[in-house]
Amino acid sequence: MSGARDGLALYGGTPVRASPLPYGHQTVDEEDVEAVASALRSDWLTTGPRGAEFERAFAQAAGTREAVAVSSGTAALHAAMYALGVGPGDEVIVTPMTFAASANAIVYQGAMPVFADVRPDTLLLDPARVQAKITPRTRAVVAVDYAGQPCDYRALREAAPGLPILDDACHALGGSDSERRPVGSLADLNTFSLHPVKPITTGEGGMITTDNADWAARMRVFRNHGITSDHRQRQEQGSWFYEMVELGYNYRLPDIACALGLSQLRHLPAWTRRRQEIARLYDAAFDGLPAVRPLAVRPGVSHAYHLYVIRLDLARLSADRGTVFHALRAEGIGVNVHYIPVHLHPFYRERFGTGPGLCPVAEAAYGEILSLPIFPGMSDADARDVVEAVHKVIEACLR
């Protein structure tokens, strides 16, 4: 065993890559820079015309009537929970296989997150587990298009009839379902993050898409302190008067950021195709490699591949996931783990009494998953380095 491992960079061998490859990275071109510069030279650094323009363009890309820009993906989730009227005494069903913010937004509104387990093949929220968790207090369901793969919203609606469904689509902008409907239009409310590792970026930023004009209006008030007019509207009306009608927040997205978002959006179709190309390269390279399995992809969906997740068959390896992780990092491959199931975080354990055993499928997956680098700026040579390093490490650790 140690002989086979001698060549690994972890044990002093030569790494596959001299310079590390991150798991995700933004692409910013000169047109993006120019777009931001022109916003900076304009009269409006925030609440200006670029905000509305970005919302219109985003709604068009998502196939919805409304898009509401906010300052982060987390703010988008919070605004969506507010729009749904979620509050103390309510329960909201949520997947544990996500970034903590998906559940935190429920807690911000004073409600209780109820974790429902995922399907073992895709790690997407399992409709049968959702159905089993519904009580008279359930107010909504939060699904995540994990890794960029759209959930089966038809099955989720059947499992939770009459309940609003929120798609935390932070991974999945650019994807579509098996009927070619774009992500952003699949659930009643759909939230996005515009952080640099996500499909497009505004630095920090978020968006909510919906066809419901009342919810959109509520979220526009919510992102602006609960005030019914913004600075620009008051300037146009020549008025000082405003009323604060709700307890809102300052979750506005500056025009500087919206200018970048508008410019980034032009690239989305090509970037999604590039992510899918890299995924095809990985699929082919790992087909037949023992102990490594990519997650299943539902037939007919267009997967946006924010993440390319492999699952290790630890029974066939003489190493655990942690060792494989460190060995790949040592080879210069910026692997990551998405995610520690949310119900295992100390905050949730202490506040809500969650813990191991609550979502066994997610917990088992957590011990076996690795996210490989995937982003549109990666070259085929970068992807081949990832393949070489995975083969090198796995083959050295096979039983």
Ligand X SMILES: *Cc1c(COP(=O)(O)O)cnc(C)c1O
Alpha helices in 27-120 (DSSP H): 30-41, 49-62, 73-83, 101-108
Q: How far is the CB of 6 from ligand X (least distance, A)?
A: 38
Instruction: Report 199-238 residues binding ligand X (CB under 6 A).
Output: 206
Indicate the residue among 253 and 278 with the shorter CB distance to ligand X: 253
Per CB under 6 A, does 336 bind ligand X? no
Residue nearest to ligand X (CB): 73
Q: Which one of residues 8, 10, 101, 387 is an interface residue with ligand X (CB under 6 A)? A: 101
Site size for ligand X, by CB under 6 A?
14
Q: Name the one range near ligand X by CB under 6 A: 27-35, 69-77, 110-118, 209-217.
A: 69-77
Q: Cα–Cα distance between 112 and 242 in angstroms, integer?
A: 34
- Written as one letter, the residue type at 124 is L
Q: Which one of residues 195, 274, 343, 392 is an interface residue with ligand X (CB under 6 A)? A: 195
Q: By three-state DSSP, how is residue 386 classified?
A: helix
- Written as one letter, the residue type at 82 is Y
Per CB under 6 A, does 102 bind ligand X? yes
Q: DSSP characters for 178-239? A: TT-PBTTSSSSEEEEE-STTSSS--SS-EEEEES-HHHHHHHHHHTBTTBSS-HHHHHHHT-
**Site map 111..150 versus ligand X, x via CB under 6 A:** ---------------------------------x------
Closest CA to 374 of 362, 390, 361: 390
Phi-psi region at 156: left, alpha or beta (left = phi > 0; alpha = psi -120 to 50)? alpha
Q: How far is the CB of 42 from ligand X (least distance, A)?
A: 25
Q: How far is the CB of 3 from ligand X (least distance, A)?
A: 41
What's the CA angle centered on 303, arms 299 and 307, to 5 degrees? Answer: 130
Indicate the residue among 73 and 175 with the shorter CB distance to ligand X: 73
Q: Name the one range near ligand X by CB under 6 A: 59-67, 115-123, 163-171, 213-221.
A: 163-171
**Site map 171..190 versus ligand X, x via CB under 6 A:** x-------------------
The label of the residue with tokens 């929120």 reads 166
Helix axes 213-222, 73-83, angle to 10 degrees: 120
Length of the chain: 399
- Is 198 designated active site? yes
Indicate the residue among 103 and 301 with the shorter CB distance to ligand X: 103
| 339 upstream amide cis, omega within 30 of 0 | yes
Indicate the residue among 64 and 72 with the shorter CB distance to ligand X: 72
Q: Which one of residues 23, 58, 82, 99 is an interface residue with ligand X (CB under 6 A)? A: 99
Q: How far is the CB of 320 from ligand X (least distance, A)?
A: 26
Q: What are phi and psi of 124, to 5 degrees?
A: -90, 150
Indicate the residue among 79 and 317 with the shorter CB distance to ligand X: 79
Residue 189: CA count within 13 A, CB half-sphere? 28
Indicate the residue among 26 and 42 with the shorter CB distance to ligand X: 26
Among the options 78, 171, 198, 303, which is catalytic? Answer: 198
Q: Name the one range near ligand X by CB under 6 A: 94-102, 180-188, 256-264, 389-397.
A: 94-102
Q: How far is the CB of 77 from ligand X (least distance, A)?
A: 6
213-221 long-range contacts (CB < 8 A, ≥24 apart) are 213/65, 213/66, 215/66, 215/80, 215/83, 215/84, 215/189, 216/65, 216/66, 216/68, 216/83, 218/82, 218/83, 218/246, 219/68, 219/70, 219/79, 219/80, 219/82, 219/83, 220/68, 221/245, 221/246, 221/248
Q: Which one of residues 73, 148, 182, 184 is an interface residue with ligand X (CB under 6 A)? A: 73
Indicate the residue among 99 and 305 with the shorter CB distance to ligand X: 99
Active site residues: 198
Which parts of this chain interact with ligand X (CB under 6 A)? 72-74, 98-99, 101-102, 144, 168, 170-171, 193, 195, 206
